[in-house]
Chain A
């Protein structure tokens, strides 16, 4: 976003202009971290996917499925998606607000602190140091670290808003604000615990209350870590890549407010038919169904932005990634409300359908939006051409097919097992009284899932190679972008 300096008029005095250089180095750091942790997180995912149909792949105490699954989820959510979110926020906010970040020091504290949290997770989780709460497994000292880092991030961000030159906040900024505020509330709320030494704590909540708080947190981690910041990413990077304006301003307003308001209520849909009070579940289900609308508002705004620009997909891997990403977002945000309906949930809960649903969203929406962003950023941040457009396109195809295999395999496994669990014979007895019978039936699908996952991982490796070769061909110190503004 550069503008040429106004030639001074020889008669009148023109206003003084200064150059504002953006901190692009921090974005470079976050982009590299995103790619590395994406690989690590997906590699662990592939290993645990292998461990399911092939128990021999449980390589001893520290690499058994129960120890590694939380490492996988934490790595792909907080390390991969997390670093991607920060790359998006730091890159786009400076440009949208026409200012450098308030504090380079805080930006770097954020970056290195976040990586330290990830490394702590990689060490503690295989050791069995865990709270046992999904996506909140990290024990209390790491939770404290996360809180401090998030506060620094928030202060840096809100101070940047304060010193902004562009007074109007573009829609992406609204989504970033919602993310920063809500993640803080959720993290603190669900992490409140009584420590027993450095490596163990008990939540202050128990039973029903703990279940509720956990899924208030868990579902809204999806909402405000895996959705809102990625919608912000979409609103910035898609119009840039397509060279088209966003489809509808009014839609962005309506879907933003309805999304941030409705999402929070959806937590209890994770607890359908469990021992929480029925009224809470009904609220969760109703609001989850309503949530379909603001979510599709986002999808519509994204896809319709490409009106008149669909032909550009042919030559743009970035646009290909974004379109598949937004489409999977639409699929997942239709499927989510569907799975929240009590009758559907009665079949799907505890089965692989849930995992299939989660991965459609994670691989499709979070993954592909991240890949699109990275392929768009690589040439711009490093001031060079991308090393191989062909490889990027291969990533797109291999990743898409891998995702489809993954998701189809698990839909099949989930529905099969769910139906087998509830099948009765003519004399009113369980048709499959032995749980094992339902397991044996779906093992082949676990192998197909592994193949799909390995393809997706292969795509991730392609991105890493492309990124490495692109950076290698660039200057050692690429120039940061700058704009000239009135002093």
Chain B
């Protein structure tokens, strides 16, 4: 140790060799990441599959991308931890197999608002429309910003097949026919949500707006875990 660290020692010599120094530094910083990451990729047991978890529908995918664009993840997490209080408050804790199709993952880092991992099915579609339009209409003391433009801006249905193609290339099991029919499927799901909303006293004409996509996405969160296997 002394020969290494003295002011005339071996490390001092190393301080005169920038290339060797840089290579050693480079190796040092590669070790930790490699050791921690490789098993996650090479070992299937790292992410046990859940058979009822399937990819997002075309409309839900569009909604997920709106969630990302609006930065919802800055205030909302999507990760229920295995604690008694979280399970009481949010539902079953989140499993690794639930996010296998999540690109990017949206587990979040902050709960300015509540966790959303199991928000699917908790509120009716109309509640979500009202809440996004004016959060205080459903939640009086809320700090959430209003998102009224989601009820007026058109959803880009035509852009959905390209998204699915990209995800399919990365490994999400979308079939060619699913991609071909995705625009129609999205429009159909959007129309259904729009009918739910208007028939319950909410605004009409939302079937081609961004709000139906985000509602579809939110209604999907956490739902697959409880699906039956048939």
**A→B interface (CB under 8 Å):** 51-53, 55, 58, 61, 64-67, 69-70, 128-134, 158, 161-162, 167-169, 173-174, 177-178, 181-182, 185, 189, 194-197, 200-214, 216, 220, 224, 249-250, 253-254, 257, 260-265, 267-268, 270-271, 273-277, 279-280, 283-284, 287, 346, 349-351, 354-355, 421-424, 429-430, 433, 435-436, 439-440, 443
| B:49-93 near A, CB below 8 Å | 65, 68-75, 77, 79, 81-86, 88-89
Among A58, A167, A206, A277, chain B packs the most CB atoms within 10 A around the CB of: A206
* CB <8 Å contact, A207 and B96: yes
* CB <8 Å contact, A130 and B71: yes
* CB <8 Å contact, A207 and B101: yes
Among B65, B104, B169, chain A packs the most CB atoms within 10 A around the CB of: B104
B123 within 8 A of A: no
Contact flag A264-B32 (CB < 8 Å), given A55-B145, A66-B71, A208-B99: yes
Report the separation of the CA atoms of residues A236 and B193 in the bound assembly, to the nearest whole angstrom: 62
In the bound complex, residues from chain A placing their C-beta under 8 Å from that of B114 are 435
In the bound complex, residues from chain A placing their C-beta under 8 Å from that of B165 are 196
In the bound complex, residues from chain A placing their C-beta under 8 Å from that of B40 are 208-209, 212, 276-277, 280
* CB <8 Å contact, B16 and A167: yes
Interface residue SS majority, chain A: helix
Report the separation of the CA atoms of residues A181 and B19 in the bound assembly, to the nearest whole angstrom: 12
* CB <8 Å contact, A440 and B32: no
* CB <8 Å contact, A264 and B83: no
In the bound complex, residues from chain A placing their C-beta under 8 Å from that of B98 are 207, 275
In the bound complex, residues from chain B placing their C-beta under 8 Å from that of A257 are 28
Q: Which 8 A-B pairs have CB atoms at the shortest separation, nearest pair first? A: A66-B71, A264-B32, A207-B99, A128-B69, A58-B145, A265-B32, A132-B68, A275-B96
* CB <8 Å contact, B70 and A67: yes
Among B95, B99, B101, chain A packs the most CB atoms within 10 A around the CB of: B99
B112 within 8 A of A: yes
In the bound complex, residues from chain A placing their C-beta under 8 Å from that of B83 are 273, 346, 422
Q: Give 12 CB contacts A-B under 8 Å.
A: A55-B135, A69-B74, A128-B70, A132-B71, A169-B16, A202-B170, A209-B37, A220-B29, A273-B81, A274-B107, A275-B96, A435-B113
Partner of B37, one of A174, A181, A212, A346: A212
Report the separation of the CA atoms of residues A162 and B162 in the bound assembly, to the nearest whole angstrom: 47
Contact flag A212-B36 (CB < 8 Å), given A207-B102, A443-B143: yes
* CB <8 Å contact, B102 and A210: yes
Report the separation of the CA atoms of residues A202 and B165 in the bound assembly, to the nearest whole angstrom: 11
| B:136-174 near A, CB below 8 Å | 136, 139, 141-147, 149, 159, 162-163, 165-167, 169-172
* CB <8 Å contact, B71 and A65: yes
* CB <8 Å contact, A208 and B96: yes
* Least CB distance, B49 to chain A, in whole angstroms: 11
Report the separation of the CA atoms of residues A280 and B135 in the bound assembly, to the nearest whole angstrom: 38
* CB <8 Å contact, A260 and B28: yes
Report the separation of the CA atoms of residues A220 and B28 in the bound assembly, to the nearest whole angstrom: 13
* CB <8 Å contact, B37 and A213: yes
* CB <8 Å contact, B103 and A203: yes
* CB <8 Å contact, A66 and B104: no
Report the separation of the CA atoms of residues A61 and B29 in the bound assembly, to the nearest whole angstrom: 41
A-contact 0/1 string along B12-53, CB 8 Å cutoff: 100110100110011011111101110111000011000000
Partner of B32, one of A64, A210, A261: A261
In the bound complex, residues from chain B placing their C-beta under 8 Å from that of A70 are 71, 74
Number of A-B contacts (CB under 8 A): 255
* CB <8 Å contact, B68 and A130: yes
* Least CB distance, B111 to chain A, in whole angstroms: 4
Interface residue SS majority, chain B: helix
A-contact 0/1 string along B170-210, CB 8 Å cutoff: 11100000000000000000000000000000000000000
* CB <8 Å contact, A55 and B162: no
* CB <8 Å contact, B113 and A274: no
B100 within 8 A of A: yes
Closest to A66 in B: B71
In the bound complex, residues from chain A placing their C-beta under 8 Å from that of B167 are 194, 202
Closest to A125 in B: B71
* Least CB distance, A301 to chain B, in whole angstroms: 14
* CB <8 Å contact, B74 and A55: no
Partner of A194, one of B39, B113, B166: B166
* CB <8 Å contact, A250 and B5: yes
Report the separation of the CA atoms of residues A202 and B61 in the bound assembly, to the nearest whole angstrom: 12
B223 within 8 A of A: no
Partner of B107, one of A182, A211, A264, A355: A211
Report the separation of the CA atoms of residues A203 and B37 in the bound assembly, to the nearest whole angstrom: 16
* Least CB distance, A135 to chain B, in whole angstroms: 11
In the bound complex, residues from chain A placing their C-beta under 8 Å from that of B111 are 350-351
Report the separation of the CA atoms of residues A168 and B135 in the bound assembly, to the nearest whole angstrom: 62
Closest to B163 in A: A196
* CB <8 Å contact, A280 and B36: yes
* Least CB distance, B54 to chain A, in whole angstroms: 14
* Least CB distance, A268 to chain B, in whole angstroms: 7
In the bound complex, residues from chain B placing their C-beta under 8 Å from that of A423 are 85
Contact flag A254-B5 (CB < 8 Å), given A346-B81, A435-B113: yes
Partner of B29, one of A129, A158, A181, A430: A181
Partner of A436, one of B41, B106, B107, B142: B142
* Least CB distance, B6 to chain A, in whole angstroms: 8
Partner of A66, one of B4, B36, B74, B163: B74
Partner of A264, one of B29, B113, B171: B29
Partner of A424, one of B37, B85, B103, B107: B85
B11 within 8 A of A: yes
Partner of B47, one of A53, A195, A208, A254: A208
* CB <8 Å contact, B18 and A52: no
Partner of A273, one of B82, B141, B145: B82
